[in-house]
Structure 1
Amino acid sequence: MISLTSPVRTRAHEWPAKLKLAALALVTMGLYLIPELWQLGLVTLFVIGLYALPGRVFFMGGMRRLAILWPFVAVLAIWHIATATYLDGVTFLLRLICAFGLANLVTMTTALTEMIEVIRWLATPLRRFGLNTRALELAIALVIRILPSLIENGRRLVDAWRVRSHRRPGWRIVLPFTLNALDDADHLAEALRARGGLLESKES
């Protein structure tokens, strides 16, 4: 499991997580209020500039993490080309890239512990009804941490297959990928049990 927080320190690292998440929500909604394509283009350039400000290492790290978005962009682009809705397609894709880019910036500049604190704060009303919010907090934290690890394991399996065969891996790596994921889940379950499981400690 890995952390998604960038090791390159920026001013945004010092900003409160609540402020960054609230700003992200407002800006994301604001993207859908921008009617002109050229205005969305300027916003896209601004987002790219935010990645470039902290330097090359931060920029390249951010672009690598956004690489997972490109298959979705390709599928949507093909759809809009097939339906001849070019302007709508470009507009939607720019909004999508900006929204994901800004969300990734928040993730790269916010420690996971800060994210969990925000989730815990948002879930306060649920605890008043006697619900165990620790499970929710842990689930979100584990998804954030484990997904990049699963993606990396999948890439390694694909690379290993290509070394041994010129054919596309396709469904052939599904079984080993699943077994690796189950093995990781088993180790994770043991670690959780060793730390008290999902039982929430009593608060004074």
Structure 2
Amino acid sequence: MVIGLYVPGDSLLHNLSAGIKLGTLFVFGTALAILSSWWVQVGALFIVLILWKVANLGIQRIKQIGWMIPMFALMAVLVNAYLGSWEQGFVMGIRIITLVLFSMLVTYTTTLDEMTHFFTWFISPIKWIGGNPEMIGFAVSFCLRSIPMIITVMEDIREAQIARGQKANVLHLAVPLIIRLLRISSEISESLDSRGFNARSWR
């Protein structure tokens, strides 16, 4: 499920290296955290939406974030509005949506191998202190690509609950989500083991 999130294509974003995309995501996120003007946040969201168009991913994939991210954004708006002002709340909400869309964009246009190779190269100096850059690089890239998968699972569970007439409830969502994620992690672990992927193979 996680590996299959990559969407093949020949767009400009697909052809960019993983290092450029991940570096841009880091700089982009840092800039949004520093610059608190609402027009900067709106402009950044507009830029990300343009990039989605350039990547030819389609509006349907944006809908995959479902109701969870807008809900978290709304909570951020209300909390920041209560602690500060409505403008601060608006800025935080837009910032969350923008960064999630950008991270999904990177995930959809970058293969797992590309991410793994980049992180392995980036942290290769840890070999000098006895570290294992290959294992860490795979773990980091795998975690990044798991975020959209978790959001998709949450949305599937919520849609099933709505179909059964159940009202929104954090506990009712959390329990099946944990069970589903444990099941998925077990399947992924067995799949990796069957391919000879284990801690010893990296030593």
- TM-score scaled by length of structure 2: 0.76
Residue in 2 that maps onto 1:118: 118
Amino acid at match of 2:19: K
Alignment of 1:55-94 (within 5 A): 55=56, 57-65=57-65, 68-83=68-83, 85-94=85-94
8 Å contact kept, 2:5–2:107: yes
1:113-136 superposed Cα distances (whole Å, 9 cap, x missing partner)? 111111101221112222233432
Is 1:29 matched with 2:30?
yes
Name the structure, 1 or 2, with higher relative contact order (CA <8 Å, separation 6+).
Answer: 1
Q: CA deviation at 1:176?
A: 4.5
Alignment of 1:48-197 (within 5 A): 48-55=49-56, 57-65=57-65, 68-83=68-83, 85-166=85-166, 168=168, 170-172=170-172, 174-194=174-194, 195-197=196-198
Pair 1:200–1:72, CA change in 2 (3 A): same
Larger radius of gyration: 1
Q: Which moved more, 1:72-81 or 1:22-31?
A: 22-31
CA distance in 1 between counterparts of 2:142 and 2:118 reads 15
The 3-state SS of whatever aligns with 1:199 is: helix
8 Å contact kept, 1:51–1:58: yes
CA distance in 1 between counterparts of 2:99 and 2:30 reads 9
CA distance in 2 between counterparts of 1:169 and 1:94 reads 25
CA distance in 2 between counterparts of 1:26 and 1:164 reads 43
Residue in 2 that maps onto 1:45: 46
Pair 1:74–1:137, CA change in 2 (3 A): same
- TM-score scaled by length of structure 1: 0.76
Bigger helix share: 2
Q: Which moved more, 1:125-134 or 1:154-163?
A: 154-163
8 Å contact kept, 2:67–2:155: no
CA distance in 1 between counterparts of 2:38 and 2:174 reads 41
5+ residue gaps, structure 2: none
8 Å contact kept, 1:5–1:108: yes
Provide the identity percentage: 19
Pair 1:99–1:89, CA change in 2 (3 A): same
CA distance in 2 between counterparts of 1:66 and 1:157 reads 11
CA distance in 2 between counterparts of 1:78 and 1:29 reads 23
Q: CA deviation at 1:190?
A: 2.6
Q: CA deviation at 1:109?
A: 1.8
Pair 1:18–1:170, CA change in 2 (3 A): closer
5+ residue gaps, structure 1: none
Amino acid at match of 2:49: I
Number of corresponding residues: 201
Q: Which moved more, 1:114-123 or 1:77-86?
A: 77-86
Is 1:9 matched with 2:10?
yes
Alpha-carbon RMSD across the aligned residues, in angstroms, is 3.1
CA distance in 2 between counterparts of 1:63 and 1:173 reads 19
